[in-house]
Amino acid sequence: MKLRTLLAAGALAMTTAAPALAQDDFDIVYIPKNAGNPYFDSIVGGFEDAAEALGYNFTTVAPATAEATSQIPFITAQIQRGVDVIAISPNSPDALNQVFDRARSRGIKIIIVNSDIPGSEAHRDVAVLPVDFSTIGVAQLELLGEQIGYEGQIAILSATTDAPDQNVWIADMEALLESDDRFANMELVTIAYGDDDPQKSTTEMEALLANYPDLRGVISPTTVGVAAAAQVVETAGVSEQVRVVGLGTPNQMRRFIENGTVEAFQLWSPYNEGWLAGYMGVAMVKGELEAAPGNTFEVPELGTIQFLENNVIHTQARPTTFDSSNIADFDF
């Protein structure tokens, strides 16, 4: 009796499973740098929600370490599984080129998420960047300007003196302070370097407070620096006189937003990258979208997205601002 029900259930399962497989069924896999990283979990969340909206199959697999070649066996396994799209945040700009070529020779789309693989662009289909990084400088200045009435002494707390992205953003800010009338009354008094080390960043921030008693605000476009700066103004009880803004992660900054030490900070939304890559991947597999510079497509919530030179995509035109109104929505 029992056996019979089991057999019947089995037969039923088989008959229902067969047509489902016959439909156009897309498999997208996302391979983050390593397992257990909340930043990448947030990207996974975007993929999952897009999968629910579009009805594709989504899985994520991750290596234990972010070592340069640790993702290769996972890619090979996905090729064998016959997925349609491999989205990946690669651990190396070029060590994966050979296996990418192998995947693409079998018709699989390779989408790089959260960065690009400079010099190896020919080995992938598209690179999804979180934000147009050229807007970071102006967005940070505006965020601070609004809080201090676009007036007074400001300082920058950066990472290391030779961090390329930091220096580009600092140069952007310096140019804007010179040329843009809105910032005419804001004076950049110094640039301090905390080396992305919590202790050194704290010491540098304390020195800024001591050396510049009229300081109105500090911009720290690095996650370690902005958290250290917020901690220092909180401890010193000067968060009203000296406003802190910067690029930080919601989990690190949540406490300072909740207790009012920091009014707002910025970054981008990794969730949006997954959401966008899901929509784009399905459209590419269906043949509705060709990855070519100039081509555009629509993504709900994000609007019109365009392939730029080298098939690079900016998920957001400007960074996301996090404040007390929205920080609860983010967990990374």
**What single letter denotes the amino acid at residue 243?**
R
The residue (of 61 and 312) whose beta carbon lies closer to other proteins is: 61
- Report the C-alpha gap between 127 and 260 in whole angstroms: 37
Q: Please report how close the Cβ of residue 112 comes to other proteins at its closest, in angstroms.
A: 16
Q: Please report how close the Cβ of residue 218 comes to other proteins at its closest, in angstroms.
A: 30
Token pair in block for residue 159: 């990472």
Of 303, 231, 236, 311, residue with least CA distance to 272: 303
The residue (of 68 and 236) whose beta carbon lies closer to other proteins is: 68
Q: Please report how close the Cβ of residue 38 comes to other proteins at its closest, in angstroms.
A: 16
Q: Please report how close the Cβ of residue 77 comes to other proteins at its closest, in angstroms.
A: 4
The residue (of 91 and 316) whose beta carbon lies closer to other proteins is: 91
The residue (of 117 and 227) whose beta carbon lies closer to other proteins is: 117
Of 219, 220, 248, residue with least CA distance to 147: 219
Token pair in block for residue 90: 């690669």
Q: Is 183 left (phi over 0), alpha (psi -120 to 50) or beta?
A: alpha
In contact, 71 and 96? CB cutoff 8 Å: yes
Helical H segments across the chain, by residue range: 2-22, 38-54, 72-81, 97-105, 136-148, 164-179, 198-211, 223-236, 250-258, 270-286
Q: Please report how close the Cβ of residue 59 comes to other proteins at its closest, in angstroms.
A: 6
Q: Please report how close the Cβ of residue 66 comes to other proteins at its closest, in angstroms.
A: 10
The residue (of 72 and 218) whose beta carbon lies closer to other proteins is: 72
- Report the C-alpha gap between 228 and 123 in whole angstroms: 39
Token pair in block for residue 239: 């968060």
Q: Please report how close the Cβ of residue 115 comes to other proteins at its closest, in angstroms.
A: 15
- Report the C-alpha gap between 157 and 234 in whole angstroms: 16
Site of interaction with other proteins (CB under 8 A) = 35, 59, 61-65, 67-69, 72-74, 76-77, 80-82, 92-95, 97-98, 102
The residue (of 45 and 93) whose beta carbon lies closer to other proteins is: 93
The residue (of 60 and 220) whose beta carbon lies closer to other proteins is: 60
In contact, 196 and 157? CB cutoff 8 Å: no
